Amino acid sequence: MALRDILMVTDLSGEQQAVKYGIELAARCDAHATGLALSYEPVVPAFAAAPVPVDFIEQSRQHALAAAQKSLETFNELARLGGVKSEGRLAEVITGGPMEPVLRHCRLTDLIVVGQDNPDQPEPMRELLIETALFESGVPVLIIPYIGAPAPKFENVLVAWDGSSTATRAVQAALPILALAKKVTVLIINKGSKMAGEPGADMATYLARHGLNVTVDVITNTQTTVAETLLNYVSDNGKDLVVMGGYGHSRVREFLFGGATRDILAAMTVPVLMAH
């Protein structure tokens, strides 16, 4: 299935790296681009020492709406320059509250594009937004490094493969993008366990049947963590996109990334497409 609808979460500040990447991808796929700006409503403490003035609350809300609207204006201009069909949307979210207003927009699209949180210009609830989109939307999520990424040419794509259902879901969700790739490498990181048969051969066959140029690489007995090994491989081999499963578990409605997933998202240098 081709990409026909791409949703991009705008940033409230900075260079809009995720929007820029998403619009270029939409142009390449002839997809509709939707920009989603989030306005974060202030939280009123239930037991404040003194009542919070209503004017202050409304002023804070209007300031948040103005910031979101400004980011939408930037999205609209970038979409116009990119020559893609587009629309802008705005969702109001209570700071620290449920993300359902966002999920309503995320569930009916082919791909969600969102920027990695920038430590120098942090976005409100960005990590929670990524986690919620990944685990609750049912839609693959493409995370763009806050430092930006070159235009999506997909010269050399990496698939992180461990044989799990989560990794399988990520590969299947990524097929429309993998179809654009000139080369796909299936990487298996084996921390010392015994592997039956030829590692990665089944996934390579599956991708080859989709007309992809596939190679398999296996790293064994590495002394670094899975995340460090993967990130080093990406850097050393000039990969421009990583496809991998997003791992985590729920705890009282809170979704938490697994260690390797969190480490990769914290230190990523190229776009990472995840599905759960």
Per-residue pLDDT of the chain (276 residues; tens, 9 = 90+): 799 999 999 999 999 999 999 999 999 999 999 999 999 987 655 555 556 677 877 898 999 999 999 999 999 999 999 999 999 999 999 988 889 999 999 999 999 999 999 999 999 999 999 999 999 999 999 999 999 999 999 999 999 998 889 999 999 999 999 999 999 999 999 876 666 667 889 999 999 999 999 999 999 988 888 899 999 999 999 999 999 998 765 544 344 556 778 888 899 999 999 998
Same domain, yes or no, for 124 and 172?
no
pLDDT at residue 221, as a whole number: 82
151 part of a folded domain: no
Same domain, yes or no, for 37 and 69?
yes
pLDDT at residue 223, as a whole number: 87
Same domain, yes or no, for 138 and 19?
yes
Note down the domain range covering 102: 5-144
Where among 94, 116, 144 does a domain terminate?
144
Same domain, yes or no, for 77 and 51?
yes
Same domain, yes or no, for 164 and 131?
no
Where among 113, 144, 175 does a domain terminate?
144
Same domain, yes or no, for 25 and 48?
yes
How far CA 9 is from CA of 33, 49, 111, 231, in Å, comes to 11, 36, 11, 25
pLDDT at residue 253, as a whole number: 39
CATH code, domain with 230: 3.40.50.620
pLDDT at residue 252, as a whole number: 40
Same domain, yes or no, for 92 and 161?
no
- And the tokens for 141? 């999520």
Same domain, yes or no, for 167 and 106?
no
Site of tokens 């939409």: 26
pTM above the 0.95 mark? no
Where among 144, 177, 192 does a domain terminate?
144
Number of domains within the chain: 2
Same domain, yes or no, for 22 and 90?
yes
